Structure 1
């Protein structure tokens, strides 16, 4: 396998398609989002295989490690190496090798958890319902929500499309964005999986030492429970989503004291379990 420079992977591939329109058809070139198996290997032992868009894999691995509770902080990860195989006679795939502190590695082995992630996966691979972790960390009140601009959510909804380059090309990727108190989009990541996009965003914030309690996450997807659970782990005070939430997402957000808003548009949004 070769070392991976994620800039070498565009996030999409070109394919010839037959387009049908108004009773006529033609062969044209279309762009399709990349989806690769990505193995996460901790201290030499493979722990998870997730289906991802093969860009920003270092950020993805850091975010996944934190939001899945494998490590408690970014400093628990000592080293990351990304490798890939993209040959004509083999399934394109990547491996991310992480060296983590011994305590985290011992805890990981004790969980006896081997994931095989799929694009829409939240809990693939757990051995029983008893292993499902639905007790989120309490999000600290740092005063961020008090200084949130009245039109911040509307601004984020308006500005997000400008940061969705791969979505414009393919029509098939999710985006996760980090916004400040005015709703300005400061960072955005895209992936075929909505939880992968969020992990990439969180990993990037941690690598850049951004305070994750002083901003909010804006997602192009629905609000499912694992997105809220992941955000609560790093103290994100609010999530806004374009589509609907699930009942469990609302419940987890309430437990974590995390503000959840959905159906976010340029002129409206819905807030759940608001006081």
Structure 2
């Protein structure tokens, strides 16, 4: 489905110390309401960039633990005056899974908006079983290259990206969105739709690493997440629980490993 343009030009007044205000034009990313439903039952509304929305829905369903990829039988998309409605038809095996009840819309800055109970906010994670190891050089290669795939980010300076790299650090897929969680869900959906084995590579995100980013990484069976910004304490604890290697502060001058450092091997011992 054609979701229309993902950017909108806007004008503003720019002020600088010692100078006069001047009119400027900025290209801004669109942010739109996206309603997700399962078997016709409304579940939540996300605020997202209107692109790759079916992948967003698939990734959300899997990273929320509502369904496995094989449980998603069909995806339909319908535009309304208020936004876009995406409905997933699930297999009978998935219909009995309890979703985290949500009472509010999911804002682009929040991965758990509307979750109503504390017990539903921080759930036990599946443990990622993977013997894949990676070189530090692969992490550096991936983080150095992600900017080239941020088409919308370069244009607007207002979006996040999530990418998937193979063991060598070559980026295979990237998705962008105004919300960091949405970008990762879109990436998850693209991996699942494309039949890419997430256990053989790692995720790179252009944001901070909060615990729900670790949760989404673990639920697609990916053994490592790399963030360009800092992690939270809970993200580190959940990464340790799930057996996910968490690398953060990944910049041109290096990176820091906060969990499961044994997966980062010296160059001559790396499993590639």
Shift of 1:113: 4.1
Shift of 1:106: 3.3
User: What residue in structure 2 maps to residue 122 of structure 1?
Assistant: 111
Alignment of 1:269 with 2:255, yes or no, is: yes
Alignment equivalent of 1:46, drawn from 30, 42, 49: 42
User: What residue in structure 1 maps to residue 57 of structure 2?
Assistant: 61
TM-score using structure 2 length: 0.90
Alignment equivalent of 2:241, drawn from 245, 255, 266: 255
Distance across 1 between alignment mates of 2:138 and 2:195: 23
Shift of 1:126: 2.1
Shift of 1:28: 2.9
Alignment of 1:98 with 2:88, yes or no, is: yes
User: What residue in structure 2 maps to residue 188 of structure 1?
Assistant: 174
User: What residue in structure 2 maps to residue 171 of structure 1?
Assistant: 157
Alignment equivalent of 1:18, drawn from 5, 13, 23: 13
TM-score using structure 1 length: 0.89
Shift of 1:41: 1.2
Alignment of 1:231-250 (within 5 A): 231-250=217-236
Shift of 1:81: 1.2
Deviations 1:190-223 (A, max 9, x none): 0011010000001000000000101100000000
Alignment of 1:5 with 2:2, yes or no, is: yes
User: Contact 1:19/1:27 (CA < 8 Å) preserved in 2?
Assistant: yes
SS of the residue 1:231 aligns to: helix
Shift of 1:68: 0.2
Shift of 1:53: 0.5
Over aligned residue pairs, what C-alpha RMSD do you find? Answer: 1.7
Deviations 1:20-44 (A, max 9, x none): 3451233232111111110001111
Distance across 2 between alignment mates of 1:125 and 1:212: 29
Shift of 1:115: 4.7
Shift of 1:114: 4.3
Alignment equivalent of 2:73, drawn from 68, 71, 78: 78
Deviations 1:138-170 (A, max 9, x none): 0012x321xx23311111121111011111111
User: What residue in structure 2 maps to residue 144 of structure 1?
Assistant: 132
For structure 2, the 5+ residue unaligned runs are 263-272
Alignment of 1:206 with 2:192, yes or no, is: yes
User: Contact 1:32/1:170 (CA < 8 Å) preserved in 2?
Assistant: yes
Corresponding pairs, count: 260
SS of the residue 1:269 aligns to: strand
Q: Which moved more, 1:99-108 or 1:207-216?
A: 99-108
For structure 1, the 5+ residue unaligned runs are none
Runs of 4+ in 1 over 3 A off after TM superposition: 111-115
Shift of 1:134: 2.7
Distance across 1 between alignment mates of 2:243 and 2:203: 15
Deviations 1:67-104 (A, max 9, x none): 00110x2121111111223xxxx55x111011111232
Shift of 1:265: 1.2
User: Contact 2:74/2:90 (CA < 8 Å) preserved in 1?
Assistant: yes
User: Contact 2:163/2:171 (CA < 8 Å) preserved in 1?
Assistant: yes
SS of the residue 2:127 aligns to: coil
Distance across 1 between alignment mates of 2:251 and 2:159: 19
Distance across 2 between alignment mates of 1:266 and 1:131: 37
